Amino acid sequence: MQRCKKCIMPSNYPGISFNEKGICNFCAAQMSPDVAKDAQEAFYNDFRNTVNNARGKGREYDCLISLSGGKDNVCRAYLGIRSIR
């Protein structure tokens, strides 16, 4: 089974294809560094606002984060534990 040399996504993932360097079409279409930084900042601000809106409502837990195990969910959990306290 072929895997992407950048993200290790397997060849049986729906819609995936590989270029001559073994990089998948998803990684090849990745955003430029400037756009990625803006998107990261927007994601972080949106996440912080969501958590702050749930915080302090007199409940046992302030926020619940569902995780599927994907990269974006791991990032969300890391941010929640590390910097949203």
Q: Domain range holding 73?
A: 31-82
Which pTM was predicted?
0.41
Q: Looking at residues 76-85, what average pLDDT do you find?
A: 71
- Domain tally for the chain? 2
pLDDT tops 80 at residue 83? no
Residues 78 and 42 both lie in one domain: yes
60/7: higher pLDDT: 7
Residues 4 and 38 both lie in one domain: no
Q: Which residues pair with 10 in a beta bridge?
A: 3
Write out pLDDT tens, residues 15-66: 999 999 998 888 888 755 666 677 778 888 887 888 788 777 777 776 666 7
CB atoms within 10 A of CB 77: 13
User: What's the one-letter identity of residue 59?
Assistant: R
CA distance 27 to 57: 41
